[in-house]
Amino acid sequence: MAANTRKIRIFFDHELIAEHQRATKPRQCIDNPDHLGARARAYLEFTRENLRARARAIGEAVYALACLRLSDPAVARERFVHGLITLSRKYGPSCVDAASRRALDFDAPRYDVVKRILENGLDAVARTTPVDSHGQRLFAFARTPGYFAVSSHPREEHP
């Protein structure tokens, strides 16, 4: 090991294996990103700017939904946007973009809504199809209203 006022260098068999910036305060922890595992490095990439860029690559509706959720600096919504990115791997970018557009149209910008839209296949349903407030398709009855109308035949009375 060799150290100066700015760096600490670690050697093994006279070969440099690591170099770190030296702490400037007592008990200060300094991490070298090169020495982190793949999952830790991936977690550090979840900045708001990076997540917005990844959302834009999926689609405009996903980007709009991500910007809406990340707009409040006081509330951490990075996990929400990461969830949308994960859904795009499972369902495909175009499906997640359509589901995000539908969630925005129904004023329900939540992860669980987007996921339910994808699970129920509502991202593929045309917007002209009538739906209720929960996004459920409305169906017509098989019989017309007149089917159950009172018959014009007189009723037979039984004694």
The domain ranges of the chain are 2-41, 45-124
Query: Which tokens sit at 41?
Result: 């490095």
- 77-124 tens-digit pLDDT: 889 999 999 999 999 999 999 999 999 988 889 999 999 999 999 888
In the chain, which ranges are E strands?
2-3, 7-12, 15-21
Could you give the CA distance from residue 83 to residue 29 in angstroms, rounded to a whole number?
30
Query: Which tokens sit at 42?
Result: 């991936």
| Buried b or exposed e, range 80-91, using 16+ CB within 10 angstroms | bbbebbebbeeb
What is the DSSP secondary structure assignment for residue 115, as one 8-state letter?
Answer: H
Whole-model pTM? 0.61
Return phi, psi of residue 21, to 5°.
-70, 140
Percent of the chain surpassing pLDDT 70: 83
User: Can you give the pLDDT at residue 142?
Assistant: 66
Query: Which tokens sit at 138?
Result: 């409305």
